[in-house]
Amino acid sequence: MSFKKLPFSNQFYELGESFFSVVKPARLKNPFWLHINTEVMDLLGISIDDLKAQCGLDIFSGKSSFADQPPIAMVYSGHQFGGYNPRLGDGRAILLAQVNTEYGVRDVQLKGAGPTPYSRGADGRAVLRSSIREYLGSEAMHKLGIATTRALCLVGSEEPVMRETIETAATITRVAKTHIRFGHFEYFHYAGQPDQVKQLADYVIEQFLPEAINAADKYDQLLSMTVTNTAKLIAQWQAVGFAHGVMNTDNMSIIGETLDYGPYGFLDDYEPEFICNHTDQTGRYAFDQQPSIGLWNLSALAHALSSLISKSITREILQQYEPILIDTYASMMRKKLGFSTERKDDHKLCAGLLNLMAQDKVDYTLLFRTMCDFNTLEDASLPEDKTKATLTNNNLSIGKLFSQQEKWKTWALDYNQRLITENSSDAIRASIMKKTNPKFIARNHLLQRAIEKAETNQDDSDISTLFMLLQAPFDEHPEFDEFAKPPKNSEKYLEISCSS
């Protein structure tokens, strides 16, 4: 299908110019294709021939736009590192179009398209480094089954831009169910515009809660939906070992999708206090703080909806957050450990493993993937002194990931006893666990290697390889075992900032 025949939607545009500014993208200098996500291309109903034609490169490098849709930048505000900023908005992103698909409306947003009225004096560009990180990171999350925006394509250029050093500009075309953030509601609330708060809430309800359109408590249901989806999302982040890095309210999706990939990082060594953003000096958005920050942000959203929802109802809805997050996280961790049933002490067993991993700084992803091949002892009657029991060679090899061998052995024997209650075979359990515990994740050192190749020689080989592996993170791909290895010490703790 050609671009002219795409089934466009005008739903967000019809809200009116209080919600956006019409802008003109700024073209990149000498753009070139770096990568195309054919799954997203198919989702939008775009053919590869149309996309790779010159008109496709023109649209997704900022030279031109879709004929029937005016490019716009959304206005919003937000709490950044706890402080309120009254006017933010799309400073380097432009909504090119909304497209009707068989799965619903999708926003098509060009990131790095030049300055907008919300750029605050900046150039509105995205650097190649950050664009590669978002392109690969968002696809990795999608294939891990975590709600997220995705990307259609990645375009490089020869245009220089200044950050900490001189880099090259790029664009990434982001595709999402919506780009509406908590900060949209905060902007109109703090500007004293309750009518716009209501108008935006009605829009979100129409799009994502159509069954509540005529309900008397529809705004309560809206907040409850966001609380539920956000709690589940952050539980998934914690279970997979993902740190977002900048959980400002303007980076929080109203429908609970992972939004705005900047200085994110997947855990290498299991460090609960891991800070992936080196500009986060206080550790506000550290890995172990994400659950509490999620509630803080939801409380800020609830305040922005106070013209629509009573305080007593708000309190009741916010109280749903913690039990949903805990239940979701517990369910995911049981799956990661291969449990098909629930036992009351499972949380103690899980906490014991995580505590031991933290003490020994064991690689998070590698440990859980290796645990898939744990062999249960056939003899369920273990000696009272567990240190005198013997483990299989395979389990001893898992234990080599730990420096505290006796503590690992004690935990492993408790785990063995728990597995016996499952009455399942090792082979069946291993197969199930390998569909839960990924072998491949978007590790920072791998992303950095792909970035350096692309920056130096316009070499997209590592981008393509990583993209392929991250689209099948649970598969073995033994020929690419190198991409599943933890980083060397020299490759750990790369400095990633908001400009990333």
CB atoms within 10 A of CB 135: 29
Name residue 97's beta-bridge partners: 108
Q: 């392109």: which residue's tokens?
A: 135
Q: 């961790």: which residue's tokens?
A: 333
Cβ neighbors of 43 (< 8 A, separation 6 or more) are 101, 103, 106, 175
End-to-end CA distance of the chain: 35
Amino acid of residue 269: D
CA atoms 275, 276, 281, 282: torsion sign: negative
Phi-psi category of residue 124: left, alpha or beta, with phi > 0 → left and psi -120 to 50 → alpha? left
DSSP 125-185: -EEHHHHHHHHHHHHHHHHTT--B-EEEEEEEEEEEEESSSEEEEEEEEEEES---BHHHH
314 in helix, strand or coil? helix
- Which of 50, 107, 220, 250 is an active site residue? 250
User: Is 250 one of the annotated active-site residues of the chain?
Assistant: yes
Q: Crossing angle, helix 290-304 and helix 218-240, to 10 degrees? A: 160
Would you say 106 and 98 are in contact if contact means Cβ atoms under 8 Å apart? yes
279 in helix, strand or coil? coil
Would you say 304 and 189 are in contact if contact means Cβ atoms under 8 Å apart? yes
DSSP 205-247: HHHH-GGGTT-TTHHHHHHHHHHHHHHHHHHHHHHHTEE-S--
Tell me the catalytic residues: 250
